[in-house]
Amino acid sequence: MTKTITIDGKTIPFEEGQTIMEAAAAAGVYIPHLCHHPEYAPHGSCKLCSVSVNGRSCTACTFPAMEGQEILNDTRELNDSRRRITQMLFVEGNHLCPGCEKSGNCQLQAVGYYLNMLDNHFLHFFQPRQLDASHPDVLVDRNRCIFCTLCVRASHRDGKDVFAISGRGINKRLIFNSESGLLKDTDLDVNDRAAHICPTGAILIKRTGFTVPIGERLFDGKTIAETSLDYERGDHDG
């Protein structure tokens, strides 16, 4: 007998061992997220995917699907909370979308559009963070980092552990595994998965900026919900 959960009243089948996020994606139901990626173990750091499970708040990317779960996902209260989280991510970093070469391909920007985020709501309070352009092929702008840890997890899978997160609160920052602390002295290669997985413009490949014109970028033709579900199903190019 097929096991099921319900999400916003819709019956969703699931397989043993699947998370709520995985079961939802397989059924074509989008749950907003930033730190989740189907290639890596769930982390639950951004809290954007929080849903109500039988009245309890849980992160969909880490919480296992279980028979009898009544889940709320697309509600005004949850989306208001997600919008506030997204707004905080924007003011905790320096995200100048019109001047960023990741504009149109940025998941943070696309989530903002999806959640109808019309302003930052909060005052900016980001600390100036160092930009590292020392590597011959990869640039890191810490001002755009949202601490999703995807580069950390990807680099660990690459077998290099180039990236890590250090500090707490406003002093939190992305660091590199080298004696000098510079990216050029790490083992990072431009072809590493870690160099391409950043959902914002924090990690960029040099000499490739603005090569894709407006109108042809990832989120110009599809919402983040559509592209995310395509990726979860393996229907993607990158």
Confirm if 12 and 51 have CB atoms less than 8 A apart.
no
List the structure tokens of 35: 């730190």
List the structure tokens of 124: 């900016």
Question: How would CATH label the architecture of 103-209?
Answer: 2-Layer Sandwich (3.30)
Average pLDDT in the 87-101 region? 90
Query: What are 46-57's pLDDT values in tens digits?
Result: 999 999 999 999
Percent of the chain with pLDDT over 70: 98
CB-CB neighbours of 207 under 10 Å: 8
For the ranges 21-30, 106-115, 123-132, which has the lowest average pLDDT? 123-132
CB-CB neighbours of 34 under 10 Å: 24
- More confident site: 64 or 126: 64
For the ranges 21-25, 39-43, 198-202, which has the lowest average pLDDT? 39-43
Sign of CA dihedral 92, 93, 98, 104: negative
Query: What are 125-157's pLDDT values in tens digits?
Result: 777 889 999 999 999 999 999 999 999 999 999
Burial class of residue 193 in the structure, from the number of CB atoms within 10 Å of its CB (0-12 exposed, 13-18 middle, 19+ buried): middle
Delimit the domains of the chain by residue range: 3-74, 103-209
Question: How would CATH label the architecture of 3-74?
Answer: Roll (3.10)
User: What pTM value is reported for the model?
Assistant: 0.92
Which of 145, 238, 224 has its CA nearest to residue 193?
A: 238
Confidence class of residue 165 from pLDDT cuts 50, 70 and 90? very high
- More confident site: 111 or 94: 111
Confidence class of residue 238 from pLDDT cuts 50, 70 and 90? very low
